[in-house]
Amino acid sequence: MQTILTRLQTLSILIVEDESSTRKWLVRVLQLYFKEVRSASDAMEALELFIASPSNIVIADIQMPEVDGLTFLQKIGTLSTNTMRIVMTAFNTNPYLNRAIESGVHFYLKKPIDIDELLFAVASHFPEEHSTSFVSDIGKGFLYNAQEMMLYQDKKPIKLTKKELRFLELLLKNRYGIISFEQIEKTIWDGNATPDAIRMVVVALRKKMYPELIENFKGLGYRLSIS
């Protein structure tokens, strides 16, 4: 945990929230963890702040007057591909989740915000620079060595196909977010795959590892389920 906190202290965050009490609470809490925390009450004010000085992370409420959070975050994505974009929402229905995925945000948070969830999501998106560890613990004795591109269970190598390997890497790189079918197609099949082809890779990877490893969000995509 201390390593994660040290990493966060090098990052800046911009909060866009029209509800005053929520915005002030987030600023107060996140100032304990990040190098710089700025806030805005609407998208236009936030855009001016970002253009003047880009932030590493932008977190915006999905519902705001005039310009909604997802439209705003899409604009941020065109200005800076390196900025992590997070949406906050009080809704957890498919239309909102679909919009979040289609807009290309890196992560969405259900209100009320779980600060620990936010911190771990950011830390996973900004891996520690100069880290000498290439190994990810995937649970139940499974370890993935990114440098070797090898999966091990209790130190024994597990053979994966090329597509299974790329899918596992995609899940690990987006450890706390849902991977949409479009992302999977683009990354693994170069944009041309049937739902059955994707499902076959998921099923095969679950069999070689363990069933609950990959969580299915019907109609949306998949997420790595590691505590």
The residue ranges of every structural domain in the chain are 2-125, 135-224
Is 5 a residue whose pLDDT tops 50?
yes
> In this structure, what token pair is assigned to residue 105?
């945000």
Q: Where are the alpha helices (DSSP H) in 80-223?
A: 94-102, 115-125, 162-173, 181-188, 195-208
Contact yes or no for 40/84 (Cβ under 8 A): no
- pTM score, two decimals? 0.58
Q: Which residue has the higher pLDDT, 93 or 42?
A: 42
Tell which wins on pLDDT, 96 or 113: 113
* C-alpha separations of 79 from 72, 74, 84, 138, 170 in Å: 11, 9, 12, 34, 24
Mean pLDDT confidence for 37-62: 94
Query: pLDDT category, 29, cuts 50, 70, 90?
Result: very high
What is the separation, in whole angstroms, between the first and last Cα of the chain?
Answer: 14
Residue 179 makes CB contacts below 8 A (sequence gap 6+) with 170, 171, 221, 222, 223
- pLDDT, residue 121, reads 84
**Tokens 């932030």 label which residue?**
55
Dump pLDDT digits (tens) for 105-143: 888 888 889 998 898 888 878 765 434 346 788 989 999
CATH of 135-224 given 1.10.10.10, 3.40.710.10, 3.50.50.60, 1.10.1240.10: 1.10.10.10
Q: Is the predicted pLDDT of residue 91 greater than 80, yes or no? A: no
Q: What is the CATH number of domain 2-125?
A: 3.40.50.2300
Question: Mean pLDDT lowest for which of 15-19, 99-103, 111-115, 168-172?
Answer: 99-103
Q: What is the rounded CA–CA span in Å between residue 9 and residue 176?
A: 20
pLDDT greater than 90 at residue 12: yes
Q: How far apart are CA 183 and CA 187, in angstroms?
A: 6
The answer to whether residue 94 scores a pLDDT higher than 80 is no
Which tops the pLDDT comparison, 19 or 226? 19
Q: Write down the mean pLDDT value for the chain.
A: 85
Rg (CA), the chain: 18
| Band of pLDDT at residue 96, cut at 50, 70 and 90 | low
Residue 163 has pLDDT above 80, yes or no: yes
Q: Quote the pLDDT of residue 130.
A: 36
Look at the chain and count its residues.
227
- Determine contact, residues 202/167, Cβ cutoff 8 Å: yes
What's the pLDDT band for 181 if we cut at 50, 70, 90?
confident
pLDDT in tens, 183-220: 888 888 877 888 899 999 999 999 999 999 999 988 88
